Structure 1
Amino acid sequence: MPVLTRLIPSPVVVDIRAGALDDLAGILSDQRIAPTGRLAFAISGGSGQALKDRFAPHLPGADWFADADGTIDGAVRLADSIKKAGRYDAVVALGGGKVVDCAKYAAARVGLPLVAVATNLANDGLCSPVATLDNDAGRGSYGVPNPIAIVIDLDVIKAAPPQFVRAGIGDVICKISAVADWELSNRETGEKIDGLAAAMARQAAEAVLGQSGTIADDAFLTTLAESLVLCGISMSVAGDSRPASGACHEISHAFDLLFPKRAALHGEQCGFGGAFATYLRGDHERAGQMTDALRRHGLPVLPQDIGFSEQDFVEAVRFAPQTRPGRYTILEHLDLSTDQIKDVYADYAKAIGS
Structure 2
Amino acid sequence: MPVLTRLVPSPLVVDVRSGALDHLGEVLANPGIASTGRIAVAVSNGSGATLRQRLAPQLPGAAWFTVEDGTLDAAVKLADQIKGGHYDAVVGLGGGKIIDVAKYAAARVGLPVVAVATNLAHDGLCSPVSTLDNDAGRGSYGVPSPIAMIVDLDVIRQAPARYVAAGIGDAVSNISCIADWELSQRETGEAVDGLAAAMSRTAGETILRHPGTIADNDFLVALAEALVLTGISMNVAGSSRPASGACHEINHALDILYPERKGQHGEQCGLGAAFATYLRGDLPVAGQMVAALRRHGLPVTADQIGFSEEEFGKAVQFAPQTRPGRYTILEHLDLSPSAIRDAYSSYVKDVCS
- When the two structures are superposed, what TM-score results if normalisation uses the length of structure 2? 0.98
The answer to whether the Cα contact below 8 Å between 1:154 and 1:221 also exists between their aligned partners in 2 is: yes
Q: Which residue of 1 aligns with 2:56?
A: 56
Q: Which residue of 2 aligns with 1:6?
A: 6
Measure the CA separation in 2 of the matches of 1:206 and 1:285.
14
Measure the CA separation in 1 of the matches of 2:100 and 2:298.
24
Amino acid at match of 1:28: L
Shift of residue 56 of structure 1?
1.0
Query: Is the partner of 2:324 in helix, strand or coil?
Result: coil
Measure the CA separation in 1 of the matches of 2:42 and 2:68.
6
Measure the CA separation in 1 of the matches of 2:295 and 2:6.
39
The answer to whether the Cα contact below 8 Å between 1:68 and 1:102 also exists between their aligned partners in 2 is: no
Query: Is the partner of 2:325 in helix, strand or coil?
Result: coil
Shift of residue 48 of structure 1?
2.1
Q: Which residue of 2 aligns with 1:27?
A: 27
Amino acid at match of 1:101: D
Q: Which residue of 1 aligns with 2:78?
A: 78
Matches within 5 A, 1:1-354: 4-67=4-67, 69-84=69-84, 86-354=85-353
The answer to whether the Cα contact below 8 Å between 2:207 and 2:226 also exists between their aligned partners in 1 is: yes
Shift of residue 47 of structure 1?
3.2
Deviations 1:265-319 (A, max 9, x none): 0100000100000000000000000000000000000001111111111111111
Amino acid at match of 1:21: L
Measure the CA separation in 2 of the matches of 1:330 and 1:46.
40
The answer to whether the Cα contact below 8 Å between 1:179 and 1:201 also exists between their aligned partners in 2 is: yes
Deviations 1:49-84 (A, max 9, x none): 212111112211100011362111111110110014
The answer to whether the Cα contact below 8 Å between 2:283 and 2:351 also exists between their aligned partners in 1 is: no
Measure the CA separation in 2 of the matches of 1:266 and 1:325.
20
Which segment drifts farther, 51-60 or 323-332?
51-60
Amino acid at match of 1:117: V
The alignment's C-alpha RMSD in Å is: 1.1
Amino acid at match of 1:133: L
Shift of residue 193 of structure 1?
1.0
Deviations 1:95-132 (A, max 9, x none): 00010000000101111111000000000111000011
Measure the CA separation in 2 of the matches of 1:67 and 1:347.
44
Query: Is the partner of 2:157 in helix, strand or coil?
Result: helix
- When the two structures are superposed, what TM-score results if normalisation uses the length of structure 1? 0.98
Shift of residue 233 of structure 1?
0.4
Measure the CA separation in 2 of the matches of 1:6 and 1:20.
31
Change (3 A) 1:239 1:2: farther
Q: Which runs of 4+ in 1 moved over 3 A?
A: none
Measure the CA separation in 1 of the matches of 2:255 and 2:309.
16
Which segment drifts farther, 22-31 or 212-221?
22-31
Measure the CA separation in 2 of the matches of 1:309 and 1:142.
30
Shift of residue 204 of structure 1?
0.3
The answer to whether the Cα contact below 8 Å between 1:78 and 1:106 also exists between their aligned partners in 2 is: yes
Structure 1 alignment gaps of length 5 or more: none
Identity of aligned residues (%): 69
Query: Is the partner of 1:92 in helix, strand or coil?
Result: strand
Q: What is the total number of aligned residue pairs between the two structures?
A: 353
Measure the CA separation in 2 of the matches of 1:257 and 1:309.
16
Measure the CA separation in 2 of the matches of 1:254 and 1:284.
24
Measure the CA separation in 1 of the matches of 2:68 and 2:7.
31
Amino acid at match of 2:289: M
Amino acid at match of 1:281: R
The answer to whether the Cα contact below 8 Å between 2:290 and 2:352 also exists between their aligned partners in 1 is: no
Deviations 1:5-45 (A, max 9, x none): 00000000000001111111112112221111111101113
Query: Is the partner of 2:26 in helix, strand or coil?
Result: helix
Query: Is the partner of 1:224 in helix, strand or coil?
Result: helix
Measure the CA separation in 2 of the matches of 1:263 and 1:90.
31
Structure 2 alignment gaps of length 5 or more: none
Measure the CA separation in 2 of the matches of 1:47 and 1:8.
33
Measure the CA separation in 2 of the matches of 1:202 and 1:259.
30
